[in-house]
Amino acid sequence: LSWGPLVLGHAHPDVIAAIQRTAANGTSYGAPTELENQLAELVISMVPSIEMIRFVNSGTEACMSALRLARAYTGREKIIKFAGNYHGHADMLLVQAGSGVATFGLPDSPGVPNGTTENTLIAPYNDLDAVRSLFEANPDSIAAAIVEPIAANMGFVLPEEGYLQGLIDICHEHGALLILDEVMTGFRASTGGAQQAFNLDPDITCLGKVIGGGLPVGAYAGKRDIMQIVAPAGTMYQAGTLSGNPLAMAAGLATLTELRRVGVFDQIAGRTKQLTDGICHVMAEFE
C-alpha cells in the first residue's frame, strides 16, 4: 500500500497511537532522541549484517549517502549499477532505472547533466561476467556496486542462483563494497529482508519505506568500520534537520515491533496470495 511503506495496512492502530503519543511531546528537536536509538537497536537486532545505522528522510537519501560513504571509505569514484534497478531520483542513479511506465518517471530524465553520471557504470542484471569486465576495464577505480536484490522496477525479476553472492565476492576481490538496496524488500517478507532469504552479508544496506510506518524515512547501515567514516566519528559529512525525527521513529518502532510478532508474515503472505490469485483469475477471463 502507498507504494510500499504500509506493510501493516492503512491506519494501523498501534502506529497511529505511537504517532499521536509522540506528537504531543514535540515533532522535531534537531538532535538525536531516545526513539532514534531504540529504532536503531531494533533494526540491528533484526538484520545480522548491520552493526551501525544512520537515519535519513527517504530511500533516495539512503542510496545517495551509501554511495558517498563507499567512495569515502575506498577513496574511489566510480560505481556500478544495474540496468533496470531503481535507487531513487538522485541524478547519478537515474540511469537505466527501469520502466518509466512502472514508476511514472523516465529511465533517463531531462535535467540530469552528462557529467553527473560519467562515473556511473552500467551492467546487465544477473550477468556476473559483465561485472567482471567492468572491474577489469576500470582497475582500482570502482568504489562499490549497488543492487536491488529483487529488481522490482522492471517486472519483479528474481536473482539467479548464486548471483548476489557472486557480486559480493567480485566486489571484495577488487577492493570494492557491495551496497544492497533493500528500500523495497526490507522487512517485507521476513524480519531480515532479502538478505536473510538469500543468506547474504552485504557491506552496506539501504532501507526505507517499511521502517517509517508510513512517514518519511530512510536509512543506510552496515559494518562498524565502514559506518565510522561518517561524521562526527569520521570525516564524511551527511546531515538532515529532520533525519531521525521523533514521529518517523515512533511509527517505525510500532511497525517493526508488530512485524516481530509471531505469525504476522504468514498473515501478510496469505493476503498477498489472495490478491494475486484474484488478479490472475480476472486476467484469465480475458485471455
Question: Which residues are tagged catalytic?
Answer: 86, 181, 209
- Distance of alpha carbon 273 from its chain centroid, rounded? 24
Q: Rounded to an integer, what is the distance from CA 129 to the centroid of its chain?
A: 25
Give the separation between CA 140 and CA 169, rounded to whole angstroms: 16
Helix (H), strand (E), coil (C) string for 56-84: ECCHHHHHHHHHHHHHHHHCCCEEEEECC
Specify the length of the chain in residues. 287
Could you give the CA distance from residue 130 to residue 125 in angstroms, rounded to a whole number? 9
Residue 270 grid coordinates = 496469505
Measured CA to CA in angstroms, residue 29 lies from 25, 26, 36, 215 at distances of 10, 8, 12, 17
Q: Identify the CA nearest to 206 among candidates 130, 127, 93, 113.
A: 93
Q: For 61, list phi and psi in degrees, rounded to 5.
A: -60, -40
Question: Is residue 124 helix, strand or coil?
Answer: coil
C-alpha distances (whole Å) from 55 to each of 32, 47, 92, 122, 184 are: 10, 15, 21, 28, 16
Grid cell of 179 as nine digits: 551496497
Secondary structure element (H or E) that encloses residue 206, with its range: strand 204-208
